[in-house]
Amino acid sequence: RAILRELGRIKEHREQELPIISGSVPPQETDPADFKSRFLKKIRKLGEGNFGMVELCLYDPIGDQTGELVAVKSLKTEKESSNLRREISTIRNLFHENIVKYKGICNEEGGMNIKLIMEYLPAGSLKEYLPNNKRNIDQKRLLLYARQICEGMEYLGSQNYIHRDLAARNILVENESLVKIGDFGLTKSIKDDRDYYKVTEEQDSPVFWYAPECLINRKFYKASDVWSFGVTLYEIMTYCNSRNSPPEVFREKVGRVQGQMTMARLVEALEGGWRLPCPESCPEMVYSQMCRCWSHAPEKRVDFQSLIKEFDFLLS
C-alpha cells in the first residue's frame, strides 16, 4: 500500500510537469478514494465525540453544486492523528451492509491533517433518531435494528475485530428500515494467538457500556462487545430516552460520585449482580436477551449468532 501511495505521488508529480494537452486528467487516472480538500465544502456539523468531529460536506470537484454529500471525520486536536489513522485502516477493510461505508481520505498538508471520508447517513445516530421518531417506530422495528446490529457485529468478529464502543450514539440510521454500525475509533484487531485485546493506555472509556472484565482487567473479548450490545439493546428499548440512559440510571443508584469512585462503585454493583432494569413496556422476552448478554463470565454470554436466531424468532 505504501508503494502504491508512493507511485501515486510520482504520477501526480509527473502530471504536473507534463504539458497539459487535453485540459483535464482522464477520470480513470484519478483515485476515487483520494479526496482533495479544496473541493470539500462544509455544510454543517453532524456530531462530535471525545477526540473526533464529524461534518457533513459536499464534495464538488466540478464546482457546479452537483457533487456528492459525504460525512467527514477529523480530529479536534492534531495530537490524536494516529488514532484516526488506525480507524481508517480498520474501516477501509470492512464490507457489510450494516457497517458504515468507507469512501476515502483527504490527506493533504503532509499528512498532519488527515480526514476520513465516509458515506453520509441522513438520519444521524439512533440517539437522535429514536427520541425524535418514537411515534412512527414500533417495537418490531426496534428489534429489526437490534438484529441488524448483530449481523454487523457477527461480521466484525469474523474479521477478528473487537469494536469496544458499541452504543446507540455509534449506530447510524440510513432510513427507517436500515441501521449501520459506525465509529471504529476504539476498534482493535485481535491477534491469532489470543482471544482478547489488552488495553495499555488509560483513556476516556465508555464505562457504563463495559463488561466487568474490561473494567477490572482491561481485557476485551468478542464477548465484551456482546455485553455492550446488551446495553445498546437496553438503550434502543428505551427509545434512547436520556432520563433512562445507562449513566443516568447508574447515578440514580449510587448517587453522584466523582472520577475513579464511579468506576469502583460500578464494578462493585456489577459484581454484586446489579444490572440495568427492564425498560418500561419492554417485553420480558426481550429483556431476557439483554440479561443473556450480561452474564458475569464472558464465556457464559450468548454470542451474536444465537442472538440473531432469537431476534428472528421474536420477529416471526
The reply to whether 124 sits near ligand ADP by the rule CB under 6 A is: yes
CA distance 232 to 290: 9
Among 12, 34, 39, 49, binds Mg ion (CB under 5 A): 49
Among ligand ADP, Mg ion, none, what does residue 106 contact (CB within 5–8 Å per kind)? none
Neighbours of 25 (CB within 10 A): 12
Angstrom CA distances, 12 to 18, 35, 106, stand at: 10, 14, 15
Known catalytic membership, residue 165:
yes
Q: Are 229 and 167 in contact (CB under 8 A)?
A: no
CA distance 207 to 215: 7
Per the DSSP assignment, residues forming a β-bridge with 150 are none
23, three cell numbers: 485540459
CA distance 61 to 154: 37
Among Mg ion, ligand ADP, none, what does residue 188 contact (CB within 5–8 Å per kind)? none
Catalytic residue among 31, 165, 192, 193: 165
Neighbours of 36 (CB within 10 A): 11
Among 55, 87, 151, 183, binds Mg ion (CB under 5 A): 183
46 labelled binding-site residue: yes
54 labelled binding-site residue: yes
241 labelled binding-site residue: no
Of 11-19, 40-48, 131-139, 190-198, the segment contacting ligand ADP by CB under 6 A is 40-48
CA distance 153 to 305: 9
186 labelled binding-site residue: no
Helices 284-293 and 304-315: angle between axes, nearest 10 degrees? 180
Kindly identify the residues of this chain, within the stretch 51-110, that bind Mg ion according to CB under 5 A. Answer: none
Among ligand ADP, Mg ion, none, what does residue 152 contact (CB within 5–8 Å per kind)? none
Smallest distance, ligand ADP to C-beta of residue 259, A: 21
Among 90, 125, 232, 289, binds ligand ADP (CB under 6 A): 125
Among Mg ion, ligand ADP, none, what does residue 294 contact (CB within 5–8 Å per kind)? none
Smallest distance, ligand ADP to C-beta of residue 222, A: 21
63 labelled binding-site residue: no
From the number of C-beta atoms within 10 Å of its C-beta (0-12, 13-18, 19+), residue 262 rates as middle
53 labelled binding-site residue: yes
Kindly identify the residues of this chain, within the stretch 66-105, that bind ligand ADP according to CB under 6 A. Answer: 71, 73, 100
Q: Are 315 and 140 in contact (CB under 8 A)?
A: yes
Q: Which of 237, 205, 207, 210 is nearest to 221 (CA)?
A: 210
Q: Are 68 and 59 in contact (CB under 8 A)?
A: yes
230 labelled binding-site residue: no
Of 43-51, 106-114, 200-208, 220-228, the segment contacting ligand ADP by CB under 6 A is 43-51
Kindly identify the residues of this chain, within the stretch 152-211, that bind ligand ADP according to CB under 6 A. Answer: 169-170, 172, 182-183, 185
Smallest distance, Mg ion to C-beta of residue 50, A: 8
2, three cell numbers: 505504501
CA distance 158 to 99: 13
Smallest distance, ligand ADP to C-beta of residue 83, A: 9
Write out the residues near ligand ADP by the rule CB under 6 A. 46-52, 54, 71, 73, 100, 118-121, 124-125, 169-170, 172, 182-183, 185
Residues with catalytic annotation?
Answer: 165
Annotated binding site: 46-54, 73
